Every structure is written in structure tokens, then in C-alpha cells.
Chains A and B, each alone.
Chain A
Amino acid sequence: MNTLATLAPRRFRPGFWTAVFVVLFLAFCAVTVIRFSKGLGAVTHLSDQFPWGLWIGFDLLCGVGLAAGAFTLTAVVHLFNLKRFEPIVRPTILTGFLGYAFVIVALLLDLGQPWRIWHAIVYWNPHSVMFEVAWCVMLYTTVLAVEFSPAVFERFGFHAPARIIHRLITPLVIIGVILSTLHQSSLGSLYLIVPSKLHPLWYSPMLPLHFYISAIGAGIGMVILESYLSGRAFHRHLEMDLLEPLARGMVVALGIYGLMRLQAIRRNHAFGSILDFGYEGQMFLLEFTLGVILPVILMSFRRLRTNPNWLVGGAFLAVLGFVMNRLNVSITGMEAASGTRYLPSGMEIIVSLGLVATGMAVFAFAVRNFSIFPDGPVTDDHRSEEGA
């Protein structure tokens, strides 16, 4: 059913990725120690003028967005009943769960006093978007864990709980989609509060919707990318017959999103800032061309969509554009008003990279030990950190 493109096994140097991962992980641990003994100022380039940096812009905003594939695909399979996409649901849910775990760890580093993270459960402020974000993180991480749990139960032969969850899958998926909708959009709502600070190329009353729809597009892109990376790492084939229609969905999502962005810029009368070709204008053009215009055009051609290399390229562009957009909203668009330039410190970057590497390693571990892909646990003896 799904053998259109088989990737040739590539020459692999065992141990190389493992070494990279171990080095990154150790560096991450070292930075963590400094951060908690000396304070945030010692490891980050954050300041009173620029209180949110890479850990919010990339780890939080992109980590959550990367998990958008999970709610999109579970909705497609369980609510829209397109059962043929079932084989790729599990790796997507796993990615979603790891994405959220990544976000939580990043938050534990970024928060000034992470040991008080539970305060949001006790002290309420329904007027705060951050309060909504906190609850969405808690609840949706739980939902993702439950949705993934059958894979763990099966592995250890507990069939009863797996069956119970299977029976509850429809309400679970609905709750998951509602929470995701709230959460993806709320990350955009976070920036509604700064009309006088965020550059008009990005600020819009429609920010929540922009974030939501672009997350769906990037989430689908991530599913494609991940199938490709898993394919390379575990010598599996790309399920082209599933990924090609997904790419069409991605084009629709990105198309709607691109149109909404242009409308927002028109309403802000901000086309001038693009023509001025200043710093913000350049960054916008880069983000919009790479992340919206190119993938939409490329993936509109059937011939390119059905070619594994072009398909993966299009998905990669969508994900890259998504990451650029989040960094532009959280950093580029906020710099002018703050009167400072923010560049993340080496240690901030180490933490982000270390977390990404850890996520990949856990994904690889899960693929080897649980039934994530349709043909059961992957049992080749290559160690590799690719595939998340």
C-alpha cells in the first residue's frame, strides 16, 4: 500500500550522532547548573529592555507549534474518519508529546522561579493569556500522554487499559483539538497586549488566528519532515500515498494564512515598511518568501508533490518559515520599540540545541522500543539521533 519511494540505506558512521548528542547534553547540563546558581543574567543576553528571548521565541513558540501535527492528524483520522492516515498518527502524537515536554523543560529554565510553576493552578487570573497558556500546557500534555499510552501498554502486554483508551478516543481527540486550538491561538494572543511595541508587519488583532493557522501548516510540514527523517534513520520508506494529500492540506493552510497576513499588513498600512527594505522589512520578506510563497507555489504542482525530494523540500520550507515567523514576532518585531538589539548568548543556544537533541534521542529510543510505526519496533542496530 505504501511503497512508492524507498530510500537507499545511506552509509552511516555509528557513534557520530551519539557523540554529538552526548556533548550537547553535557553542555546543556553545565548551563543549567550555572543558570540556577548564578541567575538568568549569567547565562542569557536577556535584559530589562528585552525580557523574553530565544527560550520563549524558539523553545516555547516553536515547540508548541511543532506539536500541531498531532491535533491535526488525530482530527483527520478520528473526526473526519480518513482512516488511511492511521499509520502516521502514532509518530505524530509522539512528536507532539515530545514537543510539549521540550516546552516544559525550556520553561523550567526560563522562568525566574520554576519551582513555583504550580502557582497557576492555585492563583487564578482569567484575564491573563499566560494563565490560559499555562493551563493549556498542563492539560494538553496530559491528553497527549494518554493518547500515546496505548503504545506503552501494548509493549508491556496490558491490553485492558489500551482497550479503554481506544474506546474513549473520540472524546479524547475532541478535547485535544479544543485545547490545541486554544493553545496555538493563545500564543498569538500573548502579543495582542503590545500594540505599541510589536512592529506593524506582525502586530494584528488577528494574531491568534495567524498563529493557529500557521501552526496547522507547519504541523503538517513537520509530519512530512519527520517521516523523511525517520525513513533515513531507520531505513524505512516514505509513505508517499499519505504524504502527498497532506501536502495539499498544507498548501491550503499556508495559502489562507498568507492571505490573512497580507490583509493584516494592508490594514496596518505597513506595506511601506516592506518597500523601505529596512531590517524588519527584510526579515519579513525572508520569512514570507521562504515560508509561505515558495512552499505554496512548489506544492501546488502535482509533479513536485509526488516527488519525495521536492515534497520534503516544500515541507522543510514551511517549517523553516514557521520558525522564522515566531522568531520575528518574538524578537525582530520587538527590537525597535525596546531600543536594543537582542542576540541570544551561546549558552542560550546550547540549551535550545541540547533540548532538540534530547527530543530526537528520546524519539529514536521510542521508535526502537515501542510500536510507533506500522511495522512494529524498529530493530536495526544503528544508533542515530535523527528522526524527531
Chain B
Amino acid sequence: MGMGLLFDATRCIGCGACSSACKEQNKLPGKVEEVLTAYTWTTVQEKEGLNVRRMCMHCEVPTCASVCPVAALKKTPEGPVVYDAERCMGCRYCMMACPFEIPKYQWDRPVPVVGKCILCAGRLKEGKPTACAEACPAEATIFGKKEDLIWEARTRIRQKPGAYVDHIYGLTEAGGTSVMMISSAPFDKLGLKSNLPADPPAMRTWQVLSNIPDFVGVWGVFLYGVHWITARRVDVAKAESNGNGHNHGREDRS
């Protein structure tokens, strides 16, 4: 379970303190963009009269980590999905696969790396909250143990009937995430994906990949068996008709 964030869209005042704190904490160049980029790891968007944070959701079973061929992306026990820029070869499968479309790329650099929120993994190790949660003046983003945050979200929804959509975004989406959101407007209206399956996408590929060793054995035996049977048939035919191989005096080609 580890740590996580709860974002309450009804409380966010859109001041952007979180985005600025993130830039500073992670030494990201440029100003805060409207949308996520390799240099803007979190941003606040205005939708439906509400302010919504966009950031990495830090999945419990991260699709990005499952698809990375060199394991440059990893889920840590504390909660963050971290990125090792030294390993990454730039295949961008994480960007293609992420159901939340979070990882971004440095398209402008000759030696590019992926950029995405890492839930201030370094700060968490020191026992500190994320920079964005610390900077939030309205308690719209709060940091804590994931189970405590779920409790808190449920309490808020229950205590103010009608003030919230009765759904905690991130509880089941893509297998559950460490970052969760509650809001007074439907989440798809806020630009969040609402068609996500409850099972982690990573399971779909693992179902295929996990069968490879078995498949190799069976397929190998089958193919050799085919060869063995047909070769035997040729031998028998040869023995009967004393060889009518039509290789025009040339060696077998391979």
C-alpha cells in the first residue's frame, strides 16, 4: 500500500503553488505549461469550473514499469513509480502503454530522457511529504498513507452528501493507483480517462509472456517431430524407388 496523495478538486483554488514547487524540487527548466511535458511534471487545468491537477497516478501495478524492456521504471514499496534515466534507451513504449498518458519525452534534445512525476521519491525516503502537498495552501492535495487517504476520501464524500461524485478516482482504475482524486463533477468531464479496465493492463501481456517457456518446448518438439516423420517418409520412398532426388547434381541448398 505505501504512501500516496489525495487530491480534492472541490478545494483546489488553482494557485499553481504545487506546479511551482515541483519545478523547484526537481530542478525542471522553463515555466509551468498548460499540459504535462518532459519538463512539467504536474499542472493544474481548469475544467467544468473546477481546477484539476494532472500528474502521474503511481499505479499499484504500473503499466509503464511492466512494458519497459530494461526495467528503467520501477514501483517502490513506498509508493512512487521511479525512473532510472541511465538505463532508458528511449523506446517510448511506456508513453504508448500508459493508460493515463503520463510519461513525456524530451523531443528537443539529442540525448533525450523521459520526464514524469516521481512522487518526490527522495523526499519520501527522508520521511517528508511530496513538494506539491507541502506547498498546497488549501489542503486540496494531501499526503499520507494510502489507506488513511482512502478513509479520508470516503469520510468527505459521506459527510457532504451531494457535494461529491460518489467515486474515488484511482481506487480501481487500471488496477488502482497511489494518487487518488475526488470531485464534484464526473471525472471524464475533467479530462480523466473513465474507460479504464479495473484489471491492470500489465496482466494482459503477462498472460502471453508467461507461456513462452512452455510454448518453446512444445513447439520445438512438434517441429522436430514433423521433420522426423517427413524425413522418414522420404527415406522409405527412396528405399523403394532407389533414389529419385532431383537436385540436378547440385548440393542441397540451405
A complexed with B: yes
- Nearest Cβ on chain A to B220's Cβ, whole angstroms: 6
Q: Is A51's beta carbon under 8 Å from chain B?
A: yes
**Binary per-residue interface labels of chain B (160-174) against chain A in the complex, 1 for a CB within 8 Å, 0 otherwise:** 000000000000000
For A182, the chain B residues whose CB sits under 8 A away are 212, 215-216
Mark out the residues of chain A between 94 and 125 whose CB falls within 8 Å of any chain B CB in the assembled complex.
Answer: 111-114, 116-117, 119-120, 122-125
Segment at the interface with A among B7-15, B52-60, B138-146, B223-231: B223-231
Query: In the complex, which of the residues A41, A78, A81, A129 contacts B233, with contact meaning CB atoms closer than 8 Å?
Result: A81
| A174 and B88 within 8 A (CB) | no
Closest to A334 in B: B96
Q: Does A1 lie at the interface of the complex (its beta carbon under 8 Å from any beta carbon of B)?
A: yes
**B97 and A193 contacting across the interface, CB-CB below 8 Å:** yes
CA distance A192 to B66 in the complex (A): 12
Please, which residues of chain B bring their CB within 8 A of the CB of A86?
A: 247, 252-253
Counting CB contacts under 8 A, is B239 at the interface?
Answer: no
Q: Are B110 and A79 in contact (CB under 8 A)?
A: no
Check if B226 sits within 8 Å of A79, measured CB to CB: yes
Q: Are B212 and A130 within 8 A (Cβ)? A: no
Query: Which of the listed residues A52, A126, A129 has the most CB atoms from chain B within 10 Å of its own CB?
Result: A129
Name which of B148-156, B182-190, B197-205 contacts chain A. B197-205
Instruction: Check A189 for interface membership: any CB of B closer than 8 A.
Output: yes
Across-interface contacts of A130 in B (CB, < 8 A): 67-69, 91, 93
Closest A residue by C-beta to B113: A112
What CA separation (Å) do A75 and B146 show in the bound complex? 55
Report how many A-B pairs have Cβ atoms within 8 Å: 198
Q: How many residues of A contact B (CB 8 A)?
A: 70
User: Contacts A111-B89, A113-B112, A128-B69 hold; do A46 and B230 have CB atoms under 8 A apart?
Assistant: no
> B93-116, CB under 8 A of A: which get 1 and which 0?
101110101001111111111000
Q: Is the CB of A119 within 8 A of B89?
A: yes
Given contacts A39-B107, A40-B112, contact A127 B227 (CB under 8 A): no
- Report yes or no: B108 in contact with A125, Cβ–Cβ below 8 A: no
Contact B204 A79 (CB under 8 A): no
CB within 8 A of B110: which of A37, A166, A170? A37
Contact with B along A39-83 (1 / 0, CB 8 A): 111100011110110000000000000000000000100111101
With the chains together, A116 CA to B85 CA distance in Å? 11
Chain A hits for B219, CB < 8 A: 177-178, 181
User: Which residues on A sit within 8 Å (CB–CB) of B215?
Assistant: 182
- Is A252's beta carbon under 8 Å from chain B? no
Nearest CB in chain B: distance from A194 CB, A: 6
Structural contact, B88 and A192, CB atoms closer than 8 A: no
Min distance, Cβ A364 to any Cβ of chain B, angstroms: 20
A75 and B196 CA atoms in complex are apart in Å by 42
Q: Which residues of B contact A12 (CB under 8 A)?
A: none
In this complex, what residue of B is CB-closest to A338? Answer: B101
Asked whether any CB of chain B lies closer than 8 Å to the CB of A13, the reply is no
State in angstroms the CA–CA spacing of A111 and B172 once bound together: 33
Contacts of B88 in A (CB 8 A): 112-113, 116
How distant is the Cα of A87 from the Cα of B109 in the complex, in angstroms?
49
Q: In the complex, what residues of A have CB within 8 A of residue B109's CB?
A: 39
Q: Does the CB pair B37–A127 fall under 8 Å?
A: no
In the complex, the answer to whether A166 meets B227 with C-beta atoms within 8 Å is: no
Whether A48 touches B112, Cβ cut-off 8 Å, given contacts A112-B92, A127-B206, A134-B69, is no
Q: Mark contacts of B219-254 with chain A using CB atoms, 8 A cut-off: 1 yes-contact digit, 0 otherwise.
A: 110011011001101100000000001111011111
Does residue A195 face the partner (Cβ distance < 8 Å to B)? yes
Q: How many residues of B contact A (CB 8 A)?
A: 67
Q: Which residues of A contact B246 (CB under 8 A)?
A: 1, 83-84
Contact present for B71 and A166 (CB under 8 Å): no
Q: Which residues of chain B from 38 to 97 have any CB-CB distance to chain A below 8 Å in the complex? A: 38, 63, 66-72, 87-93, 95-97
Known: A48-B36, A129-B205, A194-B97. A111 touches B91 (CB 8 A): yes
Q: Smallest CB–CB gap between A182 and chain B, Å?
A: 7
Give CA–CA (A182, B213) in the complex, Å. Answer: 11
How far, in whole Å, are A354 and B194 apart by their CA atoms in the complex?
A: 42
Chain A residues within 8 Å of B159, by CB:
none
In the complex, A374 Cα to B237 Cα: how many Å? Answer: 25
Contact bitstring A171-214, B, C-beta under 8 A = 1, else 0: 00010011001100100011011111100000001001000000
Answer whether A127 and B223 are a contact pair too, CB < 8 Å, given A1-B246, A111-B90, A112-B112.
no
For the complex, what is the distance from the CA of A362 to the CA of B9, rounded to whole Å?
60
Q: How far does the alpha carbon of A166 sit from the alpha carbon of B247 in the complex, in Å?
A: 15
**Which residues does chain B contribute within 8 Å of A166, judged by CB atoms?**
251-252, 254
User: Closest CB of chain B to A216's CB: distance in Å?
Assistant: 14
Query: Which residues does chain B contribute within 8 Å of A114, judged by CB atoms?
Result: 89-90
CA of A374 to CA of B233, assembled, Å: 26
Contacts A39-B108, A125-B68; A195 near B201 (Cβ below 8 A): yes
Chain A residue nearest in CB terms to B224: A174
**Does A305 touch B at the CB level, under 8 Å?**
no
Q: Are B209 and A169 in contact (CB under 8 A)?
A: no
Assuming the A-B contacts A112-B90, A195-B197, are A39 and B110 also in contact, with contact meaning beta carbons closer than 8 angstroms in the complex? yes
- Cross-chain contact B96 with A169 (CB below 8 angstroms): no
**What's the nearest-Cβ distance from chain A to residue B219, in Å?**
5
Footprint of A on B, CB under 8 Å? 35-38, 63, 66-72, 87-93, 95-97, 99, 101, 104-113, 193, 195-197, 201-202, 204-206, 208-209, 212, 215-216, 219-220, 223-224, 226-227, 230-231, 233-234, 245-248, 250-254
Nearest 6 CB-CB pairings of A with B = A112-B90, A41-B107, A81-B230, A130-B69, A123-B70, A51-B95
29 contacts between A and B (CB under 8 A): A39-B106, A40-B112, A48-B101, A51-B105, A78-B227, A81-B231, A83-B245, A83-B246, A112-B90, A112-B111, A113-B111, A116-B89, A120-B69, A124-B71, A127-B66, A127-B67, A127-B202, A127-B205, A131-B70, A169-B254, A170-B224, A174-B224, A177-B223, A189-B205, A190-B93, A193-B63, A193-B67, A193-B204, A194-B96
